Amino acid sequence: MPGDRPSRATEAFFGRRRGKALRPAQQAALEKTLPALKVDLASAPPAPLEKLFPVPVTEVRLEIGFGGGEHLHHRSAAMPEAGFIGVEPFHNGMAKLVSALSDDPRPNLRLYDDDATQLLDWLPEASLAGIDLLYPDPWPKKRHWKRRFVSAVNLDRFVRVMRAGAEFRFASDIDTYVNWTLLACRSHPAFQWQAASADDWRKPYPGWPGTRYEAKAIREERTPAYLTFIRV
């Protein structure tokens, strides 16, 4: 049932954890900043979830796989009334964001550096106003498609933690993954695609700052798509 918490018995995280060696300043920022901001899954989530943050917030949003953190850092500044949780298991991506936070902190931001499904299973029901999954690993080989984060079991996870009316935003430059996500969400009874014309998925989201990965995709003549689904 969509309201039940999925079993973790057969799950695993796929993807790199580490890249090239960090610069000393990045390592220092990681060691100083991440422990203070990391969500502790060993403790019960606060009720309401907004109490997770040291400043007053009116809602909580989640970004899964934030890469270098450009979008998350920008959006948490643009929406100080919202609390944001960012998940990134790739060590180097997390280091880039916490380095930026050393100079420009965000009191409305918390972080998690492991498998996003662990965090999703920890979150209370109907606690999120939105989930962003932006340029996730496309796993382009067909035999690896089962590793894609958009799946029936993860959409059920989304449904459990999203409030009615919450947004699921998905962006990718890989057409097979865009089609995969459209099919998965349109076949799920809890998601409604928000698009009246092609321009609705060709135009970036309002206030979109862009990312380095997106810029590379455009240089290589891959066209991004920006999908929005509402949790009904």
Is 3 within the bounds of a domain? no
Report how many domains make up the chain: 1
Catalytic residue check, 200: no
Q: What is the tens place of the pLDDT at every residue in 44-97?
A: 999 999 999 999 999 999 999 999 999 999 999 999 999 999 999 998 989 999
Q: Which of 115, 137, 156, 199 is catalytic?
A: 137
Is 144 within the bounds of a domain? yes
Q: Which domain holds residue 73?
A: 31-231
Q: Mean pLDDT for the chain?
A: 91
Is 81 within the bounds of a domain? yes
Q: Name the percent of the chain lying above pLDDT 90.
A: 81
Is 163 within the bounds of a domain? yes
Is 132 within the bounds of a domain? yes
Is 4 within the bounds of a domain? no
Q: What is the tens place of the pLDDT at every residue in 191-205?
A: 999 998 888 999 999
Nearest to 166 by CA among 45, 49, 14: 49
Is 143 within the bounds of a domain? yes
CB burial class (10 A; 0-12, 13-18, 19+) of residue 205? middle
Is residue 97 a contact partner of residue 118, using CB atoms and an 8 Å limit? no
CATH number of the domain to which 93 belongs:
3.40.50.150
Is 90 within the bounds of a domain? yes
Q: What is the tens place of the pLDDT at every residue in 5-21?
A: 444 444 554 455 555 67
